[in-house]
Structure 1
């Protein structure tokens, strides 16, 4: 049985998008899902109704047909929901170019995302494009995200995170500890975050270094 649902989502710049998800259930389990984002709810409803009828008539489509795959389809397989809300997700996979990647980074930057955050977008997109053929069997071997990286660095749209210029003050540490303690009280909590944080502060060691310490490394003298 095919059906559709519509989710209203607000983007970082304040604009509202409507994501219509069309699914097929068989024996109580979802066996197929696709989605598309629209600027108007009416358009989302129209598309959803149309796709439900098409799926009822034609059945589950071949999801590896390159000519019918958008970048968003591939991102959904890679479970990158945050990129699915961006305009780049609506571009057909065969049409994707470096200019699309650059424009995506410009939009993200304009919405307030810093070079480091945008750099994550490019890395995720590059990874999912690289996985198309070897992981999913889709005949797609180009990677505009990787190709665009040198120019994006030159343009300052992506980059490394800024070096910390100060240490946290007392009240900031108190708030951080309070949050970690609340998390540690959860029934499923197993990692001693409070101990790790306190030891890191006292020893000036990185979290990764603290977590690598073994009992034989401890000098009790």
Structure 2
């Protein structure tokens, strides 16, 4: 596989060149080293040939210089159109591809210390540990894809070792589950503000009924803005939520309405094929702006879904019945709410004037 040639210089000095040439499995590799010391080159040749004979060594050389960013781009190209990456996953991959550190890091030579440095720098910039944990999850998926689908000899163990240490030191980890629930005073303040803005001439996004529908149906903001009137089944008192988000896939899911959600819909005028024909990001921005104006702290639109599920359990509903409204396919996701059924059933919204107004219209 390797050989040494001798060459005499013009001054009479002797120099030697050791050469290695390999053509194996479609991989062509060659390298050489020169020295006046023949014994040194013999030793180098012996050591280098053994190293190249190891499993995956040639594959690593073939892809040497392939950055983590390049691997992420491959991952998007190879699988995104096939599996429909979710919004969070796509956003994470987009952010990772912009990292100057990962754009320089060789995927075939990266060590655990490199990934640890990346995580520490991200945390030092103010990013939450749960966000960086997500970075590691999708980096691992991309690296694993590169190894299996493209034959790149990446060192997954280095990433796993780094993640294990970082999690044990609590530098990264899963995010805390939110328990923020709006009070009746906060909901009334939002309702009055949205009612006022909806009646204004400049308002293009009507939020009053939209936010109440989200509150009593448990629908996410993307779902609220994509439900069509034709998706509603009045006989069964429910709706077909198309491409509903689930942990591993998006699938059409039929969800039942609470009486309160149905009452809201009966007050919504039909002006479009969609019930709420608005951009979901605009809805989120309007809700956030309203909370800021009213000085309502740490309340997000998604918290309305959490509030709906919590309220149903407080009414005494069991997991199967709640899941029929929320759309959860896995009942384990609802286990954290079951403590709410341990108390006597009660209705937080009993006698609430906003609902009385809706049912009496």
Name the TM-score class by shorter chain.
Answer: 0.5 to 0.7
What is residue 211 of structure 2 aligned with on the other side? 177
Question: C-alpha separation between the residues in 1 aligned to 2:156 and 2:181?
Answer: 44
Tell me, which stretches of 5 or more residues in structure 2 are unaligned? 1-60, 77-92, 192-206, 215-219, 232-239, 242-253, 259-304, 314-318, 330-361
What is residue 74 of structure 1 aligned with on the other side? 71
What is residue 109 of structure 2 aligned with on the other side? 95
Question: C-alpha separation between the residues in 2 aligned to 1:137 and 1:183?
Answer: 39
What is residue 156 of structure 1 aligned with on the other side? 170
- 1:128-147 alignment, distance < 5 Å: 128-147=142-161
Matched-pair contact (CA < 8 Å) for 1:129–1:143: no
What is residue 327 of structure 2 aligned with on the other side? 211
**What does the per-residue CA deviation read over 1:89-123, in whole Å, with 9 as the maximum and x for residues that have no partner?**
32112231111111111121122211111111111
Name the stretch that deviates more: 68-77 or 135-144.
Answer: 135-144
Matched-pair contact (CA < 8 Å) for 2:123–2:132: yes
- 1:193-204 alignment, distance < 5 Å: 195=257, 197=305, 200-204=309-313
What is residue 84 of structure 1 aligned with on the other side? 97
Q: CA RMSD in A?
A: 3.7
Matched-pair contact (CA < 8 Å) for 2:129–2:172: yes
Find the residue that maps to 2:64 and give its secondary structure. helix
How many residue pairs were aligned?
Answer: 150
What is residue 117 of structure 1 aligned with on the other side? 131
Cα 1:142–1:162, aligned 2, differ >3 Å: closer, same or farther? closer
Matched-pair contact (CA < 8 Å) for 1:115–1:158: yes
Question: C-alpha separation between the residues in 2 aligned to 1:161 and 1:130?
Answer: 24
Cα 1:208–1:187, aligned 2, differ >3 Å: closer, same or farther? closer
**What does the per-residue CA deviation read over 1:162-219, in whole Å, with 9 as the maximum and x for residues that have no partner?**
2435423343686892786786344779628995847524313698673258xxxxxx
Cα 1:166–1:200, aligned 2, differ >3 Å: closer, same or farther? closer
- 1:23-42 alignment, distance < 5 Å: none
Matched-pair contact (CA < 8 Å) for 2:146–2:152: yes
Deviation at 1:148, TM superposition (A): 0.8
Question: C-alpha separation between the residues in 1 aligned to 2:147 and 2:221?
Answer: 45
What is residue 21 of structure 1 aligned with on the other side? none
Which is greater in Rg? 2
What is residue 6 of structure 1 aligned with on the other side? none
Cα 1:194–1:143, aligned 2, differ >3 Å: closer, same or farther? farther
TM-score normalised by the chain length of structure 1: 0.53
Deviation at 1:84, TM superposition (A): 0.9
TM-score normalised by the chain length of structure 2: 0.35
Matched-pair contact (CA < 8 Å) for 1:130–1:141: no
